[in-house]
Amino acid sequence: MAQTFDFIIVGAGSAGCVLADKLTASGRYKVLLIEAGGTDRRFWVKIPVGYGFTFSDPAVNWRYSAAADPGLNGREAYWPRGKVLGGSSSINAMAYVRGLPHDFDDWEAAGAAGWGWDTVRQTYEAMESHDEWHEQSRRLRGNGPVRVTDLSERMHPFARNFLAGAKEMGWPFLQDMNAPADAGANTLPGEGVGYVRSTVKDGRRWSSADAFLRPAMTRGNLTVVRGALVEKVLTSGGRAVGVAYKIKGWQELALAAREVILSAGAVNSPQLLQLSGIGPAALLQRHGIPVVHDLPEVGQGLQDHLAVSHFFWANTATLNDKLGHRAGQMKAGLQYVLTRKGPLSVPVNQCSGFVRTKGAALPDVQVYCNPASYSTQANGKPQIDKDNGFLLCVQPSRPTSRGRICIQSADPGQAPLIEPNSLSTEEDRATAVRASHLLQALAGTPAIRAVTRERRAPDIIGMDNAALLENFRARAGTVFHPTCTCRMGNNAKDSVLDARLRVHGVAGLRVIDASAFPNVTSGNTNAPTMMLAHRAADLVLEDNENRPLAAE
């Protein structure tokens, strides 16, 4: 016999963990949280530098691949996505980047009423606590569950060269890239370069599962089911009433007295809607799925960030000096085990920021600078170079190209088709060239030239516009920020959800994760995904305040 809950949440990732916490906090509602993956209590999940080892681990990762992408010379990209408690917040690079104010004002302009910057900023402030390095000591600012840590005093000394190069480029230094611009400064909020703030607490990854799910799991009104694949949302009379899922080979049903909430991510949420008969009618019919609701935009509108990286050999010590050799790795490992400090306690992404390309009115590129050089082996594991090196990287922040995600069959176990449709607009191609010019200029600053022993092939310095675009097509890759596949908007003609994250035309069903973004934010997407879920939970509670409970 199927058990009935007030709310069923599909996916214990960055958003689902937030929802589980906030919907159970009052003790009033019975909540079921279903996760396809297993425990996040794994060494390489918790150690900050360990995401290189979870990058291709099937125990915690869906390990998707995108289709051949014409805009990237027909290359097929690897798309890791978290399949574990905490979702992608358990396998990401831990960079905590809110996004820029105009990102969210654009959300509101796209039909997501109430999601402008002023509201979003208040949500961020409510959920964050900042562990900051200040005048030779540490202090904690704020009391939210998301721990955002300033690791600048632990960054590799080589990173100072990046900041010196940024200064020579005329880019402001940001103590905190999430802070508002200084009054009277000739910059916009978030414009400039600084040390990356990270979701790390006491030398360990601090995922959405740590911040939100662990407290919720102490409550008797939350049930968590792991290792379960949700195969279908059950509907009746135009309303979502439950889900069907498979666990250990057995088919199970769970009913929702109030709502079913999909938080399975930008790949799996549209896939699950389509498998449930909610999506483009022609696609569903082609795979023999009865059409519950013809909603053409499900799976459409996919946006992601592309970045191009160039590596350089250094004439002074970088992280490779410590981690490129067995003895150094063992020493760093012992230091971490004994003190939770040292190179293993800090993510490799150490400096970043938003800057403007020539003629841009707003910051339109994110820059990354890492004090290490490395490669990815055929098995997906990282291989750090033995020789000292470093990386410079640029990422166009607000692409206009849109792709799609579509099921390839009615089998829930088959991965969906991912079509990024990269660089399909002239605007994106032009931004890729301008961003590449910035990388050329940064590599050519006196500060960077002074620590460069050799520019590794391909050498970006002498490339003209045509060569820069071809270089971008040939070498740029995803930085794993898929969004917008169930986006908020005005109506069913331009979107999947309304501004309260409700699926157009299907009662009792919401999608609350990165797929709900109307457009991709300028930077890393984990922080805005948690923010979206934090505010969306309040909307869910408001809409259900006067409805009867599951047990009534």
Closest-CA residue to 145 (of 214, 85, 48, 212): 212
Evaluate whether residue 408 is within a structural domain. no
Average pLDDT of the segment spanning 364-383: 84
169-190 average pLDDT score? 74
Is the same domain home to 268 and 163? no
Q: What would the mean pLDDT of 257-278 be, rounded to a whole number?
A: 98
Residues 360, 435 within the same domain: yes
550 pLDDT more than 60: no
Residue 332 lies inside a defined structural domain of this protein: yes
Q: CA triplet 132, 168, 455: central angle to 5 degrees? A: 100
Closest CA to 106 of 494, 489, 492: 489
Element containing residue 95 per DSSP (H, E): none
In a domain, 60, yes or no: no
Q: 248 and 281 in one domain? A: yes
| pTM confidence score | 0.96
Return the H-helix or E-strand segment holding 282. helix 281-286
Task: Clarify whether residues 467 and 499 are in a common domain.
Answer: no
Residue 443 is assigned to a structural domain of this protein = yes
CA distance 283 to 411: 14
Strands 300-302 and 306-314: unpaired
Q: Determine whether 189 is exposed, middle or buried from the number of CB atoms within 10 Å of its CB (0-12, 13-18, 19+).
A: buried
CB 336 within 8 A of CB 344: yes
- From the list 310, 481, 504, 534, the catalytic residue is 481
**Which 3 state secondary structure label does DSSP give 435?**
helix
Q: How far apart are CA 124 and CA 531, in angstroms?
A: 6
- In 291-345, where does DSSP find H-type helix? 320-323, 326-339
The model's pLDDT over 49-72, given as tens digits with 9 standing for 90+, comes to 999 899 999 999 999 999 999 999
Residue 124's closest CA among 89, 94, 148, 105?
148
Contact between 358 and 480 under an 8 Å Cβ cutoff? The reply is: no
315-340 pLDDT, tens per residue?
Answer: 999 999 999 999 998 999 999 999 99
Question: At residue 184, does pLDDT exceed 50?
Answer: no
DSSP state of 86: T
Residue 43: predicted pLDDT: 94
The domain total for the chain is: 2
Q: Is the pLDDT of residue 148 over 80?
A: yes
Q: Is 481 a catalytic residue?
A: yes
pLDDT at 552: 46
What is the token pair recorded at 12? 């214990």
Which of 171-180, 227-236, 404-413, 473-482 has the weakest average pLDDT? 171-180
CB 427 within 8 A of CB 149: no
- Tell which residue, 490, 285, 520, has the closest CA to residue 420: 520
- The verdict on residue 275 lying in a domain is yes
* Same domain (yes/no): 190, 214: no
Label residue 183 by pLDDT band (50, 70, 90). Answer: very low
Domain that holds residue 186: 152-195+306-396+423-475
Query: Is the residue at 350 inside a domain?
Result: yes
Whether residues 217 and 287 share a domain: the answer is: yes
CATH number at residue 505: 3.50.50.60
Q: What percentage of the chain has pLDDT greater than the value 70?
A: 96
With cut-offs at 50, 70 and 90, classify the pLDDT of residue 138: confident
Same domain, 273 and 243: yes
Q: Which of 84, 538, 111, 509 is nearest to 292 (CA)?
A: 509
Instruction: Look at residues 432, 451, 475 and tell me which one is the last residue of a structural domain.
Output: 475
For residues 274-283, give the mean pLDDT. 98
Instruction: Compute CA 344 distance to the chain's CA centroid, rounded to the nearest angstrom.
Output: 22
Residues 466, 495 share a domain: no
CA nearest neighbour of 384 among 338, 446, 444, 332: 332
253 and 367 belong to one structural domain = no
- 125, burial (CB in 10 Å: exposed 0-12, middle 13-18, buried 19+): exposed
Same domain membership, residue 169 and residue 251: no
**Domain-located, residue 75:** no
What's the mean pLDDT in 460-483?
97
- Report the CATH number at residue 365: 3.30.410.40
Mean pLDDT on 223-233: 98
Strands 64-65 and 228-236: unpaired
pLDDT value of residue 348: 87
d(CA 266, CA 302): 8
Q: What is the mean pLDDT of residues 15-35?
A: 98
* 8 in a structural domain: yes
Q: What is the mean pLDDT of residues 497-514?
A: 98
Q: What mean pLDDT, rounded, does the chain reach?
A: 94
Q: Which long-range contacts (CB under 8 A, 24 or more apart) does 282-289 make?
A: 283/406, 283/407, 287/407, 287/408, 287/409, 287/410, 288/410, 289/410
Both 463 and 367 in one domain: the answer is: yes
Reported as half-sphere exposure (CB side, CA atoms, 13 A), residue 128 has a value of 25
- Reported as a pLDDT band with limits 50, 70 and 90, residue 162 is very high
Check whether residue 539 and residue 471 sit in a common domain: no
Q: Of 480, 484, 481, 462, which is closest to residue 471 (Cα–Cα)?
A: 462
Residue 268, SS3 per DSSP: helix
